[in-house]
Copies of this chain bind each other. A is one copy, B any other.
Protein backbone atom coordinates (compact mmCIF):
# COMPACT_ATOMS: atom_id res chain seq x y z
CA UNK A 1 0.00 0.00 0.00
CA UNK A 2 2.72 2.49 0.98
CA UNK A 3 4.80 1.41 -2.01
CA UNK A 4 1.80 2.06 -4.24
CA UNK A 5 1.29 5.46 -2.65
CA UNK A 6 4.95 6.36 -3.28
CA UNK A 7 4.72 5.16 -6.89
CA UNK A 8 1.54 7.10 -7.55
CA UNK A 9 2.79 10.26 -5.91
CA UNK A 10 5.97 10.05 -7.96
CA UNK A 11 3.70 10.09 -11.02
CA UNK A 12 1.71 13.13 -9.79
CA UNK A 13 -1.32 10.94 -9.21
CA UNK A 14 -3.71 11.91 -6.44
CA UNK A 15 -3.39 8.65 -4.49
CA UNK A 16 -6.63 8.84 -2.50
CA UNK A 17 -8.71 9.72 -5.54
CA UNK A 18 -6.91 6.99 -7.47
CA UNK A 19 -7.83 4.44 -4.78
CA UNK A 20 -11.47 5.46 -5.22
CA UNK A 21 -11.16 4.90 -8.96
CA UNK A 22 -9.57 1.49 -8.42
CA UNK A 23 -12.30 0.49 -6.01
CA UNK A 24 -14.99 1.51 -8.46
CA UNK A 25 -13.28 -0.45 -11.27
CA UNK A 26 -12.81 -3.53 -9.07
CA UNK A 27 -16.47 -3.57 -8.15
CA UNK A 28 -17.52 -3.35 -11.77
CA UNK A 29 -15.03 -6.04 -12.74
CA UNK A 30 -16.41 -8.35 -10.09
CA UNK A 31 -19.99 -7.71 -11.12
CA UNK A 32 -19.39 -8.05 -14.84
CA UNK A 33 -16.72 -10.71 -15.13
CA UNK A 34 -16.14 -12.66 -11.93
CA UNK A 35 -19.81 -13.47 -11.38
CA UNK A 36 -19.95 -15.42 -14.63
CA UNK A 37 -20.29 -19.18 -14.26
CA UNK A 38 -18.10 -21.63 -15.99
CA UNK A 39 -15.26 -19.34 -16.97
CA UNK A 40 -12.05 -20.72 -18.45
CA UNK A 41 -9.55 -21.21 -15.63
CA UNK A 42 -6.87 -19.21 -17.50
CA UNK A 43 -9.08 -16.13 -17.54
CA UNK A 44 -7.77 -15.57 -14.00
CA UNK A 45 -4.56 -14.27 -15.56
CA UNK A 46 -6.51 -11.63 -17.47
CA UNK A 47 -8.33 -10.64 -14.28
CA UNK A 48 -4.93 -10.16 -12.66
CA UNK A 49 -3.68 -8.13 -15.62
CA UNK A 50 -6.78 -5.97 -15.39
CA UNK A 51 -6.00 -5.21 -11.76
CA UNK A 52 -2.32 -4.68 -12.55
CA UNK A 53 -3.08 -2.19 -15.32
CA UNK A 54 -2.75 0.57 -12.75
CA UNK A 55 -0.16 -1.30 -10.68
CA UNK A 56 2.44 -3.75 -11.97
CA UNK A 57 2.03 -2.48 -15.53
CA UNK A 58 2.79 1.07 -14.38
CA UNK A 59 6.00 -0.18 -12.76
CA UNK A 60 6.94 -1.98 -15.99
CA UNK A 61 6.48 1.18 -18.05
CA UNK A 62 8.40 3.20 -15.48
CA UNK A 63 11.27 0.71 -15.61
CA UNK A 64 11.20 0.81 -19.42
CA UNK A 65 11.61 4.57 -19.27
CA UNK A 66 14.27 4.45 -16.58
CA UNK A 67 16.19 2.07 -18.83
CA UNK A 68 16.17 4.76 -21.53
CA UNK A 69 13.13 3.47 -23.44
CA UNK A 70 10.59 5.97 -24.72
CA UNK A 71 6.79 5.79 -24.71
CA UNK A 72 3.91 7.61 -26.34
CA UNK A 73 0.21 7.84 -25.61
CA UNK A 74 -2.32 6.94 -28.32
CA UNK A 75 -6.09 6.72 -28.70
CA UNK A 76 -6.60 4.70 -31.80
CA UNK A 77 -5.69 1.36 -33.31
CA UNK A 78 -4.74 3.26 -36.48
CA UNK A 79 -1.39 4.25 -34.96
CA UNK A 80 1.05 1.72 -36.49
CA UNK A 81 2.51 0.07 -33.42
CA UNK A 82 5.14 -1.93 -35.35
CA UNK A 83 7.00 1.27 -36.23
CA UNK A 84 7.22 2.33 -32.59
CA UNK A 85 8.16 -1.16 -31.39
CA UNK A 86 11.05 -1.29 -33.87
CA UNK A 87 12.86 1.44 -31.92
CA UNK A 88 11.69 0.31 -28.50
CA UNK A 89 9.04 3.02 -28.15
CA UNK A 90 6.19 1.72 -26.05
CA UNK A 91 2.65 2.52 -27.11
CA UNK A 92 0.28 3.31 -24.23
CA UNK A 93 -3.36 3.31 -25.34
CA UNK A 94 -5.05 5.98 -23.24
CA UNK A 95 -8.74 5.46 -24.11
CA UNK A 96 -10.74 5.84 -20.93
CA UNK A 97 -13.50 3.40 -20.05
CA UNK A 98 -14.41 4.67 -16.64
CA UNK A 99 -17.60 6.63 -15.89
CA UNK A 100 -16.05 7.64 -12.59
CA UNK A 101 -13.55 10.00 -14.24
CA UNK A 102 -15.98 11.84 -16.52
CA UNK A 103 -17.06 14.71 -14.22
CA UNK A 104 -13.45 15.95 -14.12
CA UNK A 105 -13.49 16.47 -17.89
CA UNK A 106 -16.49 18.75 -17.79
CA UNK A 107 -14.32 21.60 -16.59
CA UNK A 108 -12.55 21.83 -19.93
CA UNK A 109 -14.58 20.03 -22.58
CA UNK A 110 -18.18 20.11 -23.82
CA UNK A 111 -20.48 17.58 -22.19
CA UNK A 112 -21.99 16.43 -25.43
CA UNK A 113 -18.95 14.66 -26.81
CA UNK A 114 -18.40 10.94 -26.41
CA UNK A 115 -17.77 9.34 -22.98
CA UNK A 116 -14.51 7.80 -24.22
CA UNK A 117 -12.90 11.21 -24.72
CA UNK A 118 -14.41 12.64 -21.55
CA UNK A 119 -13.29 9.65 -19.48
CA UNK A 120 -9.75 9.83 -20.85
CA UNK A 121 -9.32 13.53 -20.11
CA UNK A 122 -11.21 13.21 -16.87
CA UNK A 123 -8.46 10.79 -15.76
CA UNK A 124 -5.78 13.30 -16.74
CA UNK A 125 -7.51 16.42 -15.39
CA UNK A 126 -8.54 14.60 -12.21
CA UNK A 127 -4.93 13.52 -11.62
CA UNK A 128 -5.73 9.80 -11.52
CA UNK A 129 -3.97 8.70 -14.71
CA UNK A 130 -0.62 7.12 -13.80
CA UNK A 131 0.40 7.19 -17.46
CA UNK A 132 0.17 10.97 -17.76
CA UNK A 133 3.81 11.37 -16.74
CA UNK A 134 4.89 8.10 -18.34
CA UNK A 135 4.92 9.26 -21.92
CA UNK A 136 6.99 11.59 -24.07
CA UNK A 137 4.03 12.85 -26.03
CA UNK A 138 0.67 11.86 -27.44
CA UNK A 139 -0.09 10.91 -31.03
CA UNK A 140 -3.72 11.48 -31.93
CA UNK A 141 -5.45 10.97 -35.26
CA UNK A 142 -8.32 12.39 -37.26
CA UNK A 143 -10.85 9.59 -36.95
CA UNK A 144 -13.61 11.75 -35.52
CA UNK A 145 -14.53 15.40 -35.10
CA UNK A 146 -14.44 15.51 -31.31
CA UNK A 147 -11.10 13.70 -30.98
CA UNK A 148 -9.54 15.78 -33.76
CA UNK A 149 -10.47 19.03 -32.08
CA UNK A 150 -9.56 17.86 -28.59
CA UNK A 151 -6.05 17.05 -29.87
CA UNK A 152 -5.90 20.65 -31.10
CA UNK A 153 -7.03 21.96 -27.74
CA UNK A 154 -4.30 20.02 -25.93
CA UNK A 155 -1.70 20.60 -28.67
CA UNK A 156 -1.08 16.92 -29.44
CA UNK A 157 0.62 15.53 -32.52
CA UNK A 158 -1.91 14.29 -35.05
CA UNK A 159 -1.76 11.63 -37.77
CA UNK A 160 -4.07 12.50 -40.63
CA UNK A 161 -6.29 9.70 -41.75
CA UNK A 162 -7.90 10.33 -45.15
CA UNK A 163 -11.66 9.96 -45.39
CA UNK A 164 -11.88 7.92 -48.58
CA UNK A 165 -9.94 4.85 -49.70
CA UNK A 166 -8.81 5.69 -53.22
CA UNK A 167 -5.18 5.44 -54.39
CA UNK A 168 -4.52 9.14 -53.67
CA UNK A 169 -5.89 8.62 -50.14
CA UNK A 170 -3.61 5.67 -49.61
CA UNK A 171 -0.67 7.84 -50.72
CA UNK A 172 -1.60 10.43 -48.09
CA UNK A 173 -1.78 7.69 -45.46
CA UNK A 174 1.53 6.18 -46.56
CA UNK A 175 3.10 9.64 -46.12
CA UNK A 176 1.71 9.75 -42.59
CA UNK A 177 3.21 6.34 -41.78
CA UNK A 178 6.56 7.68 -43.07
CA UNK A 179 6.12 10.78 -40.94
CA UNK A 180 5.36 8.58 -37.92
CA UNK A 181 8.57 6.66 -38.64
CA UNK A 182 10.57 9.92 -38.59
CA UNK A 183 8.80 10.90 -35.37
CA UNK A 184 9.71 7.62 -33.69
CA UNK A 185 13.30 7.79 -34.91
CA UNK A 186 13.66 11.32 -33.58
CA UNK A 187 12.12 10.40 -30.25
CA UNK A 188 14.27 7.32 -29.76
CA UNK A 189 17.40 8.76 -31.29
CA UNK A 190 17.71 5.53 -33.28
CA UNK A 191 17.35 4.69 -36.95
CA UNK A 192 14.81 1.97 -37.68
CA UNK A 193 16.71 -1.07 -38.95
CA UNK A 194 15.14 -3.62 -41.31
CA UNK A 195 15.64 -6.54 -38.88
CA UNK A 196 14.00 -4.80 -35.94
CA UNK A 197 11.07 -3.61 -38.05
CA UNK A 198 10.58 -7.12 -39.40
CA UNK A 199 10.73 -8.50 -35.87
CA UNK A 200 8.14 -5.97 -34.74
CA UNK A 201 5.89 -6.92 -37.65
CA UNK A 202 6.13 -10.59 -36.77
CA UNK A 203 5.52 -9.93 -33.08
CA UNK A 204 2.40 -7.85 -33.72
CA UNK A 205 1.17 -10.50 -36.15
CA UNK A 206 1.67 -13.15 -33.45
CA UNK A 207 -0.52 -11.09 -31.16
CA UNK A 208 -3.17 -10.77 -33.87
CA UNK A 209 -2.99 -14.49 -34.71
CA UNK A 210 -3.62 -15.59 -31.15
CA UNK A 211 -6.54 -13.19 -30.92
CA UNK A 212 -7.88 -14.65 -34.16
CA UNK A 213 -7.48 -18.16 -32.74
CA UNK A 214 -9.34 -17.30 -29.52
CA UNK A 215 -12.12 -15.56 -31.37
CA UNK A 216 -12.52 -18.36 -33.91
CA UNK A 217 -13.76 -20.61 -31.05
CA UNK A 218 -16.75 -18.32 -30.79
CA UNK A 219 -17.95 -19.60 -34.16
CA UNK A 220 -18.84 -22.89 -32.53
CA UNK A 221 -22.38 -23.81 -31.59
CA UNK A 222 -21.35 -23.85 -27.90
CA UNK A 223 -18.58 -21.26 -27.54
CA UNK A 224 -16.04 -22.16 -24.84
CA UNK A 225 -15.61 -18.47 -24.01
CA UNK A 226 -18.25 -15.86 -23.27
CA UNK A 227 -18.57 -12.55 -25.09
CA UNK A 228 -17.68 -10.81 -21.85
CA UNK A 229 -14.43 -12.73 -21.43
CA UNK A 230 -13.51 -12.33 -25.09
CA UNK A 231 -13.95 -8.60 -24.56
CA UNK A 232 -11.69 -8.64 -21.51
CA UNK A 233 -9.02 -10.40 -23.55
CA UNK A 234 -9.27 -7.74 -26.27
CA UNK A 235 -9.13 -4.98 -23.68
CA UNK A 236 -5.99 -6.48 -22.14
CA UNK A 237 -4.43 -6.89 -25.61
CA UNK A 238 -4.36 -3.12 -25.74
CA UNK A 239 -2.77 -2.49 -22.37
CA UNK A 240 -0.58 -5.44 -21.37
CA UNK A 241 3.05 -6.01 -22.31
CA UNK A 242 2.91 -7.63 -25.74
CA UNK A 243 4.94 -10.77 -24.94
CA UNK A 244 3.21 -11.38 -21.64
CA UNK A 245 -0.12 -10.96 -23.39
CA UNK A 246 0.76 -13.44 -26.14
CA UNK A 247 1.78 -16.01 -23.49
CA UNK A 248 -1.44 -15.56 -21.54
CA UNK A 249 -3.53 -15.64 -24.69
CA UNK A 250 -1.81 -18.81 -25.95
CA UNK A 251 -2.54 -20.46 -22.61
CA UNK A 252 -6.17 -19.42 -22.92
CA UNK A 253 -6.34 -20.69 -26.50
CA UNK A 254 -4.97 -24.03 -25.31
CA UNK A 255 -7.58 -24.26 -22.60
CA UNK A 256 -10.36 -23.29 -25.01
CA UNK A 257 -9.31 -26.16 -27.27
CA UNK A 258 -9.48 -28.54 -24.31
CA UNK A 259 -12.90 -27.22 -23.41
CA UNK A 260 -14.13 -27.77 -26.93
CA UNK A 261 -12.79 -31.32 -26.89
CA UNK A 262 -14.45 -31.88 -23.55
CA UNK A 263 -17.72 -30.29 -24.69
CA UNK A 264 -17.55 -27.45 -22.17
CA UNK A 265 -19.39 -24.25 -23.04
CA UNK A 266 -19.04 -20.86 -21.40
CA UNK A 267 -22.75 -20.49 -21.35
CA UNK A 268 -25.27 -22.14 -19.12
CA UNK A 269 -28.39 -22.68 -21.08
CA UNK A 270 -29.68 -21.17 -24.22
CA UNK A 271 -29.18 -17.76 -25.77
CA UNK A 272 -29.42 -16.06 -29.12
CA UNK A 273 -26.21 -15.51 -31.09
CA UNK A 274 -25.55 -11.83 -31.68
CA UNK A 275 -22.84 -9.59 -33.11
CA UNK A 276 -21.74 -6.58 -31.08
CA UNK A 277 -20.96 -3.87 -33.67
CA UNK A 278 -19.87 -0.25 -33.60
CA UNK A 279 -18.15 1.88 -30.97
CA UNK A 280 -15.47 0.21 -28.85
CA UNK A 281 -15.74 -0.86 -25.21
CA UNK A 282 -12.45 0.28 -23.61
CA UNK A 283 -11.06 -1.23 -20.42
CA UNK A 284 -13.31 -0.44 -17.48
CA UNK A 285 -16.47 -0.54 -19.57
CA UNK A 286 -18.43 -3.70 -20.32
CA UNK A 287 -21.95 -2.57 -19.50
CA UNK A 288 -23.69 -3.56 -22.71
CA UNK A 289 -21.87 -6.91 -22.91
CA UNK A 290 -22.92 -7.66 -19.35
CA UNK A 291 -26.55 -6.70 -19.87
CA UNK A 292 -26.74 -8.54 -23.18
CA UNK A 293 -25.26 -11.76 -21.83
CA UNK A 294 -27.60 -11.72 -18.84
CA UNK A 295 -30.62 -11.01 -21.03
CA UNK A 296 -30.71 -14.08 -23.20
CA UNK A 297 -28.13 -13.00 -25.78
CA UNK A 298 -24.77 -14.58 -26.47
CA UNK A 299 -22.29 -12.14 -27.98
CA UNK A 300 -20.29 -14.41 -30.28
CA UNK A 301 -18.44 -11.74 -32.22
CA UNK A 302 -17.25 -8.18 -31.61
CA UNK A 303 -17.05 -5.90 -34.61
CA UNK A 304 -15.28 -2.98 -32.92
CA UNK A 305 -11.83 -1.60 -32.12
CA UNK A 306 -11.95 -3.79 -29.02
CA UNK A 307 -12.78 -6.71 -31.29
CA UNK A 308 -12.19 -7.84 -34.86
CA UNK A 309 -11.14 -4.41 -36.11
CA UNK A 310 -8.01 -4.76 -33.96
CA UNK A 311 -6.86 -8.22 -34.98
CA UNK A 312 -8.50 -9.04 -38.31
CA UNK A 313 -5.79 -8.28 -40.81
CA UNK A 314 -2.09 -9.13 -40.64
CA UNK A 315 0.84 -7.17 -41.99
CA UNK A 316 2.44 -8.90 -44.96
CA UNK A 317 5.65 -10.46 -43.59
CA UNK A 318 7.16 -10.82 -47.08
CA UNK A 319 9.02 -7.54 -47.62
CA UNK A 320 12.37 -7.17 -45.89
CA UNK A 321 13.41 -3.66 -46.95
CA UNK A 322 12.28 -0.65 -44.91
CA UNK A 323 10.24 0.91 -47.70
CA UNK A 324 8.48 -2.33 -48.55
CA UNK A 325 7.72 -3.02 -44.89
CA UNK A 326 6.35 0.47 -44.31
CA UNK A 327 4.12 0.04 -47.32
CA UNK A 328 2.85 -3.31 -45.99
CA UNK A 329 2.19 -1.71 -42.64
CA UNK A 330 0.34 1.21 -44.25
CA UNK A 331 -1.68 -1.24 -46.34
CA UNK A 332 -2.65 -3.34 -43.34
CA UNK A 333 -3.82 -0.40 -41.26
CA UNK A 334 -5.64 1.04 -44.26
CA UNK A 335 -7.88 -2.05 -44.31
CA UNK A 336 -9.34 -1.05 -40.93
CA UNK A 337 -12.99 -0.30 -41.68
CA UNK A 338 -13.54 2.52 -39.18
CA UNK A 339 -16.79 4.42 -39.67
CA UNK A 340 -14.72 7.53 -40.41
CA UNK A 341 -14.50 6.48 -44.07
CA UNK A 342 -16.88 7.38 -46.88
CA UNK A 343 -18.20 5.29 -48.42
CA UNK A 344 -17.54 2.49 -45.99
CA UNK A 345 -18.68 -0.46 -48.08
CA UNK A 346 -15.75 -2.46 -46.68
CA UNK A 347 -17.35 -2.41 -43.23
CA UNK A 348 -20.71 -3.47 -44.61
CA UNK A 349 -19.08 -6.41 -46.39
CA UNK A 350 -17.09 -7.37 -43.29
CA UNK A 351 -20.22 -7.34 -41.16
CA UNK A 352 -22.08 -9.51 -43.65
CA UNK A 353 -19.15 -11.95 -43.58
CA UNK A 354 -19.19 -12.04 -39.77
CA UNK A 355 -22.94 -12.64 -39.82
CA UNK A 356 -22.41 -15.68 -42.04
CA UNK A 357 -19.24 -17.02 -40.40
CA UNK A 358 -20.54 -16.72 -36.84
CA UNK A 359 -24.14 -17.67 -37.71
CA UNK A 360 -25.39 -14.43 -36.22
CA UNK A 361 -29.10 -14.14 -35.44
CA UNK A 362 -29.10 -10.42 -34.71
CA UNK A 363 -26.86 -7.39 -34.44
CA UNK A 364 -26.48 -5.10 -31.44
CA UNK A 365 -25.26 -1.74 -32.73
CA UNK A 366 -23.34 -0.21 -29.86
CA UNK A 367 -23.10 3.55 -30.15
CA UNK A 368 -21.20 5.56 -27.59
CA UNK A 369 -23.30 8.67 -27.16
CA UNK A 370 -22.52 11.49 -29.65
CA UNK A 371 -20.41 9.20 -31.83
CA UNK A 372 -21.97 10.50 -35.05
CA UNK A 373 -20.10 8.21 -37.45
CA UNK A 374 -21.12 4.87 -35.93
CA UNK A 375 -24.54 6.28 -35.09
CA UNK A 376 -25.50 7.32 -38.61
CA UNK A 377 -23.70 4.32 -40.15
CA UNK A 378 -25.77 2.00 -37.95
CA UNK A 379 -28.80 3.15 -39.98
CA UNK A 380 -27.05 2.29 -43.24
CA UNK A 381 -26.06 -1.13 -41.94
CA UNK A 382 -29.45 -1.77 -40.39
CA UNK A 383 -31.03 -1.21 -43.81
CA UNK A 384 -28.67 -3.75 -45.41
CA UNK A 385 -29.19 -6.28 -42.61
CA UNK A 386 -32.96 -5.94 -42.95
CA UNK A 387 -32.68 -7.01 -46.60
CA UNK A 388 -30.77 -10.08 -45.41
CA UNK A 389 -33.48 -10.80 -42.81
CA UNK A 390 -31.19 -10.08 -39.85
CA UNK A 391 -32.81 -7.97 -37.12
CA UNK A 392 -30.73 -5.36 -35.37
CA UNK A 393 -31.07 -2.96 -32.48
CA UNK A 394 -29.32 0.37 -31.86
CA UNK A 395 -28.15 0.92 -28.29
CA UNK A 396 -26.90 4.47 -27.84
CA UNK A 397 -25.40 4.82 -24.41
CA UNK A 398 -22.62 6.23 -22.26
CA UNK A 399 -20.56 4.81 -19.39
CA UNK A 400 -23.11 5.55 -16.66
CA UNK A 401 -25.38 2.92 -15.14
CA UNK A 402 -28.43 5.16 -15.36
CA UNK A 403 -29.82 3.58 -18.51
CA UNK A 404 -28.97 -0.01 -17.52
CA UNK A 405 -32.61 -0.89 -16.76
CA UNK A 406 -33.87 0.54 -20.00
CA UNK A 407 -31.16 -1.25 -22.01
CA UNK A 408 -32.02 -4.52 -20.24
CA UNK A 409 -35.68 -4.17 -21.17
CA UNK A 410 -34.81 -3.46 -24.78
CA UNK A 411 -32.28 -6.31 -25.06
CA UNK A 412 -34.67 -8.80 -23.44
CA UNK A 413 -37.28 -7.81 -26.00
CA UNK A 414 -34.66 -8.18 -28.73
CA UNK A 415 -33.78 -11.68 -27.47
CA UNK A 416 -37.47 -12.62 -27.64
CA UNK A 417 -37.74 -11.25 -31.15
CA UNK A 418 -34.73 -13.34 -32.21
CA UNK A 419 -36.23 -16.38 -30.52
CA UNK A 420 -39.40 -15.97 -32.57
CA UNK A 421 -37.46 -15.29 -35.77
CA UNK A 422 -35.54 -18.58 -35.50
Contacts and interface: CB of A to CB of B under 8 A. Distances in A.
Contacts of A160: 162-164, 169, 342
Interface stretch (A22-30, A86-94, A199-207, A365-373): A365-373
Given A172-B172, A369-B112, A375-B112, A342 B162 contact: no
Given A110-B396, A396-B110, A372 B146 contact: yes
A264 interface: no
Interface string A379-409: 1100000000000000010000000000000
B112 A152 contact: no
A47 interface: no
A158 interface: yes
Contacts of A37: none
Interface string A157-175: 0101111100011011001
A134 interface: no
Give the oligomeric copy count. 2
A146 B112 CA distance: 14
B376 A342 contact: no
A379 B108 contact: yes
A99 B373 CA distance: 23
Interface in A334-385: 339-340, 342-344, 369-370, 372-373, 375-377, 379-380
A171 B370 CA distance: 32
Interface in A157-200: 158, 160-164, 168-169, 171-172, 175
Contacts of A146: 372, 376
Interface string A317-345: 00000000000000000000001101110
Which of A160, A169, A339 counts the most B-chain CB atoms under 10 A from its CB? A160
A109 interface: yes
Contact of A149 (B161, B164, B168, B376): B376
Given A145-B373, A372-B370, A152 B380 contact: yes
5 contacts: A109-B379, A110-B376, A145-B145, A148-B373, A151-B342
Given A162-B162, A372-B372, 11 more contacts: A108-B379, A110-B379, A112-B396, A144-B372, A146-B372, A153-B376, A153-B377, A160-B163, A168-B171, A169-B172, A370-B370
